[in-house]
Structures are given as C-alpha cells and as structure tokens.
Structure 1
C-alpha cells in the first residue's frame, strides 16, 4: 500500500512540476493593454491585451493572463481607454504621388478656379524664369463657384496664362485622369489651334484635347492626351524622389497606415523602394503593383517571377493596368453615354486585347492582375477578359485578380466578382466625395442600380479591399471608414446617407481595411488580424470607432502606429 501511495505521489509531483514549468513564460518585448482591442479575428473578436515578441504577436487575450508575459524589460503600452485595431492597410494608393503632393502645389482644398489662379500666381513669384509650376488635386465639380465660360464642363486657360506668362503650368485633376495647362505649357508642347501632330479631331488615341468652338485648345487635356504636355516637364531627381518617398512614409504613419498597396510603380521607384528597404528606412510594408505602362518592365518581372519578401517589407507580385478614365473627367468607359454629355461614353485607355494577353501571361508566371476600371463597360470588358484567361488556365486555383475602383457596375455584372473570385478594390471615400455630382454624369437610375454597391458585392460573397486612392483623396482612413458606414459626405449629408442599403457595417468596414485588405495581397496568413503568430502591426485610435456615434467618427484621431512591434508614430 505504501509503495502504491508513493508511486501516485511521485506522479502527482511530476505533473505539478511540469505544469509549473509550462506556466512559466519568457517575457515579451511589448505588452499593450488598458483599452478595447478589436482583433478582426472571428474566433476571438475582442481582447483586453496583446503581447509581442520580436515582430510577432505571441498573445491576445485577457489583461489578467497577459501578466505572465510581462518582465522587467518588457515595454508596456497603456492604452488609457483608447482603442486598438490591426494595422490599417491602404488598399489602393500611390506612394510617390502622396509624397510629391506635399512637395508640389496641393490643390485638394481649393474652392474655385480663382483659388487655383491665386496659388499659381504665388508660386510664380517664387519660381525661376521658365521653371515649371506643377500641382494636383483640383476638381471642378466641388467648386462653390464655376467660371462664367466653360467648355464641356471645364474652364479655359486665360486667367492662368495671364498670371504665368513665362512659366509653364500643368495641374493634374484630383483623379489624375485629366490636367490643365496654361498657354506657355501648350506652347512648349507644340499644341495650338493648328497643331495636327498626334491629334485627330482634337483627340489622341485614348485621350482628348478639349477645344472651344473655334478649335482653340482650352487647356484641358484628358487621359492620354496629357502626355503631350507632361513629357516636357523635367524629370524628377534622385534627391527629390527620396524626399518625396520619405514624406509619404511619414504621412502613412501619421494616419495609422502600416501597409500600402502601391497601384502602378515604375522601374525607378521600385529601385528606390529597394534602396530604402536595404537602408531600413521603408517604415511601411509595401505591396507593389508594377505599372502596365512599361511593358518591358512587366515582362522582365514575368520572366524572373514574383519577389515575395520573407521579411514582409517589400513584395512585388502584381501588375496594374489602366483601362479607362474617371467619372470626373468623363473618361470612365460607359455602356451608355453620359447623362450630361450625350455625345460621349468615355473611353478605353488600354486595348482589351492587351488586358487578355497580360492576364494570360500573369497566370502563367504567378502574378496578380489589378485593372483600373471605373465605368460599367470597363468593368464588364475586364471581367470578360479575366474569365477567358481563367478558363484557359484552370490549373491556377488562387489568382485573386482585382478590379481597382469597380465604381460603377452594371447590375448583371455584380455577382460575377464573387463567381470568378475577382476582388473589387473600392475606395469608399470616392462615394462621399463624388456622389453629389456623379448623379449628373450617370443619372439617377444608373447611380442607384450600379454605383458604389458595397453591400451587394459583400452579400454576393466578394471581399472588398478599401483605401483612399491617395493623393486623389487624403490618405486619412478615418474619413474613408466614416464614408463606408454612413454613405454621407464629410459634411454629414444627406440624412441617412446615399442609398443607405449599400452601407457597410462597422465590422465589414474594419475587415475591408485589415484582414480582407491583407487577403487582396495574399497576406491574410501573416497580417490583417491580431492573432498569435501574425505580424505585430497595430493602429491605435483616440476613440472607439466601432461604437461611437456616426458624427463622432470624424473627430477620431490616430494616437499611435506600431509596425512589427515598433512604435513608428506617437508615444
């Protein structure tokens, strides 16, 4: 009997010792607690505390249980009632554009054409003779006062030319799909009432030079016609490119952006990103879409294959195709003519044969295709080409091809996204900014049946990748989150929102900026939710964006941005 008791006592003590050893935990490098933490992990949606070792999450649970991860050298961040989410992922924007928007004239908040003229006049006073004045951000449909004379909805260059007779001026529309030039810029480009080079009835292939009734150019260049002027602008220098990239990274971190899907990147900028990565200065995780404008570059990458970064800092595995224009410039390619310009249906800016050929090659070489399409015809034509390519390559089971913007879709094509496994990368803030005037472009029926159909796409089974298209819109995700869940302008109009049945829930909006955005880059297994084993990327907000009133969402600020367990903004 004694031997039996002794045997069981040894077993008990051994088990107790093993349990004690298992309960000991190596202290984490970072512990965050003291506020509500939304994980975007359906199995564990809200936690009280998170622990991080290195750049990975090791614990997400209760504040009581996180105590065993806290040691003498553990950095502890007390949220003090603030709210934390997975790091926000900018799903479609232009990194260098964000940086250069801070270096050049920022026209995003101008109220009318006279404001633009005043800004240009001030810039001319500081410029050297002959120096180009460039900027971006104006949008004629947002002006409080329109000029007396408009041609096809746009002003003429006269006032701009008067304040800058010796300095060429080129100002990109907010969308990036049109630009305005003064007389000096057009003179440098060789564009005049009589110029015929590359011009057919006022147009270039895939573009348009808007002219008045006498054939004089008004200064507005639409889509590919912009290149007639833009190719004369002196190229940026390595120094200014580096400065712009640094400014863009800091802008991301100030706004809680930990990852960035860069929509259309040149050879030179890829090299710059690689340089910044090697120097430890990139700061934000980059998912790069190679520009389809440079076919040589694209095919070079097809030949050598995707670059999937094991450090998850700079990954290159997709290409960006620009297939139509924007609603603001009436370049979006429509099935039926514009309501406010019945002689015009927009245009394809890339051959659909090229879309099909590129899709085939991408599938062969392991690349994702991301095609810009705003108009309903562009969306349909691209879905058709994708579908053909998928059928030809049934061996590719997980392509995750995307349509960037997917802004206006014929109702018949809405279920095709989920059916084909195509991801709509949609920027909710565009609805907030564009919906008040977009109804003039499309008319009430087309707006209500096919524009900004977020909830319909989600219910069909599609995953939406959200973002801002910065510098088209400010990179601030709070405004975009607000637009997603309210479908209102940033002034809070209209009551109830536009087409309120298409609002996202707050959970859906959070997913579109976190786990679903990660899915859009094949990265949902390494980031996008606060789950042990994933990257420690977090955004901390001053308020609980998941529960506060709609009106208070826009009062929220980013308090801290953490990338790979390191505090990159705020403290």
Structure 2
C-alpha cells in the first residue's frame, strides 16, 4: 500500500511539474515591457494565455518543457500588442475583401493600377474605394480625374470616396444608382469645371455621403466573413491585437453577424470591444432601449465584448456646435439613462469652442450618477484647450485621440494657422492627468496603420511632409507607445490585464522588424510585425517566424 501511495505521489508531482511548464517561451529579445519602471527585458514565458515570467533568458529556462514552443527573437524588439482606441474596424472588415484601398499608394498611377487589378479580379463588378487616402499622398498632389478612372476601369461602375466630403462616380456608377448631375440625392452637389462641365466629382457632408454609400451594393455574408478575417489579419501584421470600435454610419445590428461567426468559431485574431452607434435618427432612445437588454455592459469575453453606446448618441447633437434646448434635452435624457444603466458612452466631438455644450450636460448627469467609473470618452477634439481638459479630468472623462492631421493637417493649418502647432495637445493632456488612448479613426477617413500614427505623433508631419504640431506637444517614444497600448486599454476596462508585458497580464505582443525605440523617426511608419501573438497564440507570422504559428 505504501509503495502504491508513493507511486501515486510521485506521479502527481510529475504531472503537476509538467503542467507548470510554459506553453511558449521567447528568448534573446529586446522587450519593451512598458511596466512602471520602463524595464527592458530579454525573455518572457507564456502559459494558458498569460505571461508567467519576464526577465533575462535565465528567468525562463526552468519553464521550458518537452511541449514548450521556443522562439528565438534574434535580438529583435518586442512591444505589447497595439490597441486602437477608436477604429471602425468591424465596418471595414465587412467590405475589405471587395473594396480597393489606396493606403500607401504614392502616385495616381499606382492608385489606378490597384483599380485595374481589382477589375481584373472581378470583371464588371463595382469598384469601390471607401476612403483612407488624401490627394497629398500622391506625388501629383491632386485627386485623380474622371478620365483617369474610366481609363483604368472602363467596364466597371466605380465609386471613390475622399473622407466624408467628396466622391467620384463614373457614368456607369451614376446610371446604376439612378443619379445624374441634374438629379442628385439631398445634400450632394456636382462639382463643375470653369467651362460649366461636370468633373465626375461630387461634394457632400458626412450624413449625405453616408446615405449615398448605403445605396451601393453590399457584399454577401460569405464576403463579410472573408473580409473581416482578412482585415483582422492585416491589423495583426501591423502589431494590432485589440481595438475599441465605435460603430459608425452604415453599420446596423445585422452587420455584426460576420464578427460573431468568427467569435463563435474561436478564430478572432483581434480582441474587439464595440459600441452601439445610433442609426435611427429621431428614434435613438427607442433603439438603445430595444437592443441593450440583450447586451448588458461588459457582455462577452476576452475576445469580443460590448462596450456601451456611441459615438453618435443622437443625430441632432452630432456635429452640432449650437444645439438648441430641445436637442440638448433629448440628448440629456439618453445619457442620464445610460449612466443609470452603467453604460460607457463615447461621443464624436470636433470643436473646443462648443464642447462646453456637451460638458455642461455631463456635469448635470454626474450630480445624479457619478460617471467616472463608467469611463465615458470624447473622440477627436484636436483643438481641445487646457480648460476643457481640466473639466474632463474632473469628470473622469477620457480622450481618444487620432492622427486626423496626418491626412488632413494641411487644410487644418490653412484654417487654424499658428494654433495648429498645439493640435492635438498630447503632452498637455497627459500632464493634466486625462486618460488618453491613441488610434486612427480608420478606415474611411484615415489609414489603419498604427505605425503611421505613431510616427505622426513623434514628428507632427502630414502625409505631404508639412510640419504641424510643435515640440511642446510631442510625446516621447515610450509615451507614444503607452498611448497605443495601456492607454487605449483603459477605454475598455482592461488596463490591468493588457497593454504592458508583465507577469499575470494577457500574452499579447508583437516582434517587430525594426527597433521602434531607436530607428530614425521617419522610418517608424514602415514598421511591421514579424510575429504577432494574442493570448499566447500566434495569429500572424512572417516567413522568419513561420514555424512559430
């Protein structure tokens, strides 16, 4: 009996010891942990999706067992997985497999070649560029002409959107939509040359252009799934492991089915926290009250989680710098209800001169229900003032800051002049103690590339090379990286679980193809990941690390 008991004890000990070995060990790295001490480590170990050791190579040796996957980083830099605090990624994924993007195209010729390749792959189908580009990225410093687009795709209806302000439609596209220069949807106007002839370009607002976009043919469900998978893999290639998604125009409840399918299959490669964006103008409160009983705050898991409402709460308050009393009352009714429901609220706001209209209402709500624990946030607000930041800090409101000035800074400088040198006031916000998360607002108005955004945070230059933000508002490399990691994690209640590489945190990280901390700033925008890991699982691997996936 004693012999049998001893055998059982030894067997249990051996099983326990084996179970304590790491699933994954990475060694010979430069690990930018972003912990409070700014530690640079050499190795880390992962077990059951979490980091169990960080330190020198010797710190992980005892955790290596027969089943442990070993990765030699070869001296490369590892950073925490990047988290975009404001990106319309769910919507982008729906159409990624069927759209053309001009992100990174340096000439009109290159952009036209992308159209030609899309037409070749999908003869006679719609060619759609939904945004994410600026004419200043092209060497020609202009928009493509109707003639150039027709020459590239003569047999396809083509729709090309520039931000939310302009779009080009070829005659085939106009015909398919039942549109002509003399018969346009509300809010859309035709651009005309000096001769009076139409140019093929049309102007509009975010509301009118979004309404027109809704009339374009939609990809089917299988294309939604394929596009979402492809887009998230593209985000992984750029070191992104998490997103906070504010919904957006043209995305309705049924459009989340592709995302949910990948989640059910456990094949999501990006952690998603998403909000509900009001689609039914005039009936927003009813919409929220109908949908949220099925989505209590925080509903979901580590890969897919409901994160409240926004970024449009009511249509009447959206982009409204002078809301009347009735508009504010309706808005107040909804946000007061949201606070009582424990919901996070994020809102789109552009101008500091009018943000007092919003903060006055939030202060009213806060008297009844403290909102600081709910992590409400304001998106955009590039020209925010120290006074506004102080009010936000007092309320516990965070700021999701994007690189809108990378593509649009030339226009903003022309309008704002010297004031643009402090836009956005990143350093001032950090000194004020406001929670700040970095992001892009992609993909219709910006590139989704986080390293382009990080480079812009450090050099303040637009895509056309114009310096804008001055040194007083330029963060350090480490601070910029923190905004894109643990800073963004705050907006989905995860700053204690991810965003830094410390023992006990979720194992989300990326091995980079260059050292973010030391390469010339102008090279940061070209950075890519060689191996991206989410919860200890390799979700993207370049050839050098293919065996790790």
Question: Do the two structures share a fold, i.e. TM-score over 0.5?
Answer: yes
Aligned residues between the structures: 511
8 A contact 1:324–1:372 mirrored in 2: no
- Give the TM-score normalised by structure 2: 0.81
The structure number with the bigger radius of gyration is: 1
Partners of 2:486 and 2:334 lie apart in 1 by: 28
Q: Of residues 413, 417, 423 in structure 2, which corresponds to 1:444?
A: 417
TM-superposed deviation, 1:567: 1.6
Which secondary structure does the structure 2 equivalent of 1:31 belong to?
strand
TM-aligned CA distance change 1:491 to 1:66, over 3 Å: farther
Structure 1 equivalent of residue 380 of structure 2: 405
Which aligned pairs between 1:263-342 and structure 2 lie closer than 5 A?
Answer: 263-264=246-247, 266-294=252-280, 295=284, 297-306=287-296, 308=298, 311-322=301-312
Partners of 1:435 and 1:553 lie apart in 2 by: 19
TM-superposed deviation, 1:359: 1.9
Which secondary structure does the structure 2 equivalent of 1:403 belong to?
strand
Cα deviations by residue, 1:385-422 (Å, 9 ceiling, x for unpaired)? 3333323323x441211112222325542332222222
Structure 2 equivalent of residue 67 of structure 1: 61
Structure 1 position 181 matched with structure 2 position 169: yes
TM-superposed deviation, 1:25: 9.4
Moved more, 233-242 or 182-191: 182-191
Q: Of residues 466, 476, 482 in structure 1, which corresponds to 2:455?
A: 482
Structure 1 position 363 matched with structure 2 position 339: yes
TM-aligned CA distance change 1:553 to 1:186, over 3 Å: closer
Structure 1 gaps, min length 5? 1-21, 148-153, 326-330, 336-346
Higher relative contact order (CA 8 A, sep 6+): 2
Which aligned pairs between 1:78-477 and structure 2 lie closer than 5 A?
Answer: 78-99=72-93, 100-101=95-96, 103-109=98-104, 131-137=125-131, 138-145=133-140, 168-173=157-162, 175-176=163-164, 178-186=166-174, 189=177, 191=179, 195=183, 199=186, 203=187, 209=189, 219-264=202-247, 266-294=252-280, 295=284, 297-306=287-296, 308=298, 311-322=301-312, 352-377=328-353, 379-394=355-370, 396-410=371-385, 412-428=387-403, 430-440=404-414, 442-449=415-422, 451-471=423-443, 472-477=445-450
8 A contact 1:485–1:503 mirrored in 2: yes
Partners of 1:120 and 1:514 lie apart in 2 by: 35
Which secondary structure does the structure 1 equivalent of 2:255 belong to?
helix
Structure 2 equivalent of residue 48 of structure 1: 42
Structure 2 equivalent of residue 3 of structure 1: none
Partners of 2:23 and 2:520 lie apart in 1 by: 35
TM-aligned CA distance change 1:228 to 1:525, over 3 Å: closer
TM-superposed deviation, 1:552: 4.3
TM-aligned CA distance change 1:119 to 1:550, over 3 Å: closer
Partners of 1:374 and 1:66 lie apart in 2 by: 48
Structure 2 gaps, min length 5? 1-15
Partners of 1:503 and 1:377 lie apart in 2 by: 23
Which aligned pairs between 1:30-41 and structure 2 lie closer than 5 A?
Answer: 30-41=24-35
TM-superposed deviation, 1:301: 3.4
